[in-house]
Amino acid sequence: MPRPLSPEILDQIAGRFRVLAEPARLRILYSLMGGERSVTELVEETGLSQANVSKHLGLLRRARFVDRRKEGLYAFYHVSDPSVETLCEIMCGRLEAQLAEQVALLEAVS
Amino acid sequence: MPRPLSPEILDQIAGRFRVLAEPARLRILYSLMGGERSVTELVEETGLSQANVSKHLGLLRRARFVDRRKEGLYAFYHVSDPSVETLCEIMCGRLEAQLAEQVALLEAVS
DNA sequence: CAACTATATAAACAGATAGTAATGTATCGA
DNA sequence: TCGATACATTACTATCTGTTTATATAGTTG
C-alpha cells in the first residue's frame, strides 16, 4: 500500500537512487562498509583517480549517504546512512533470484 | 557485514539502481502499484507521451521490475518485483528522517 | 617562509540517455 | 479489405554526467 507520493517527492527519491546508480560510487561505499577510510585509502582500494574519488564523495555527502571527519591534512569518510547496505542487499538478492530463475529455465529445456 | 561483491556484480546493481533513478519511471511504477494498467491508462495517469511510456516500460521489463500480459490490442503491465516498493519506502523514509533533522536544526537555532 | 602532502574544485571533453516526432506492427470492427 | 486503435520502435536532438587534466586550498614540516 504505497502512500501518496507527490511528483516532487518522486523527484527526490529518483535523485537518491541516481546517486547509487554508479559502479564507482558503489565501489566507494563498499570500501566504506569496511569502516572509516581516508580519501587516499579509497583511491588505493578502488583504483579510481583522486579527483574522481573526491567528486564522488562530495555527491555522496550532499546526499547524506556518507559523512566526513577532518583531522589535520586528512579527511576520513564513513557511511552515515544505515539504509545503504539494506538497499544494496535487496538489489543483490534480486539479482541472485533472477539468475537462479534463468538457470531453472535452462534446465527445464534440457 | 557485506558479502564480497565483484566489480561485475556492482555494475549490475548500479544498473538496477539506474532504472529506478528516473522520476518518470517511478511515476509509472507508482501507478502500477495500484494494480495492473494498460499503456494508455499509464499515459493518462502519468501525463507522459505514449512513446515515452512504452520506452520506459521496455526498460522496466528488461530489468524485470515489471511484466506484461497481452490481451488483444492491449498490453497490461504489472509490478513483478516485490522489492520495488520496499526500496522506494526505504528511500522515502530516509528523506523524511533528513527533513526532520533539518527542522530540528532550525529549531535549535531559534 | 618555502616545500610538500592531502584534498577539493574548475574547465573541458566524451559517452549515455530522456524526450519527441515519425513510422512500423498487430489486432479489431465495419 | 480498409480504416482505426494500441502499442512498439527508430532516428534524432538536447541535456546531463563521469572522467581527466590542471589548479586551488589548506595543513604540515623544515
pLDDT for B44-83, tens place per residue? 999 999 999 999 999 999 999 999 999 999 999 999 999 9
**Higher pLDDT, residue B101 or B44:** B44
**Residues in CB range of A17: below 8 A, 6 or more apart:** B17, B18, B20, B21, B87, B91
Is the pLDDT at B2 greater than 80? The verdict is no
The per-residue pLDDT for B95 is 87
The per-residue pLDDT for A1 is 45
Q: Where are the domains of chain B?
A: 7-81
Give the single-character DSSP code of A93.
H
Stretch (H or E) spanning B6: none
**Higher pLDDT, residue B98 or A41:** A41
φ, ψ of residue B90 to 5 degrees: the values are -60, -45
The per-residue pLDDT for A99 is 84
Domain B7-81: CATH architecture, name and number where available: Orthogonal Bundle (1.10)
* Helices of type H across chain B: 7-20, 23-32, 39-46, 50-62, 83-109
8 Å CB contact of A94 and B14: no
* Residue matched to cell numbers 545503504: A84
Task: Choose the mutation target among B5, B13, B31 for the interface with A, i.e. most A CBs under 10 Å.
Answer: B13
Q: Which residues of chain A have pLDDT under 50?
A: 1
- Give chain D positions with protein CB within 7 A: 5-10, 17-23, 26-28
> What is the overall mean pLDDT for chain B?
93
8 Å CB contact of A14 and B21: yes
pTM metric for this prediction? 0.92
- Nearest CB partner across the interface for A2, out of B9, B13, B85: B85
Task: Choose the mutation target among B3, B10, B66 for the interface with A, i.e. most A CBs under 10 Å.
Answer: B10
Query: Which residue's CA is nearest to the C1' of nucleotide C16?
Result: B18
Count of alpha carbons within 13 Å of B11, Cβ hemisphere only?
Answer: 3
- Percent with pLDDT over 90 in chain B: 75
Confidence bin at B101 (pLDDT 50/70/90): confident
8 Å CB contact of A21 and B15: yes
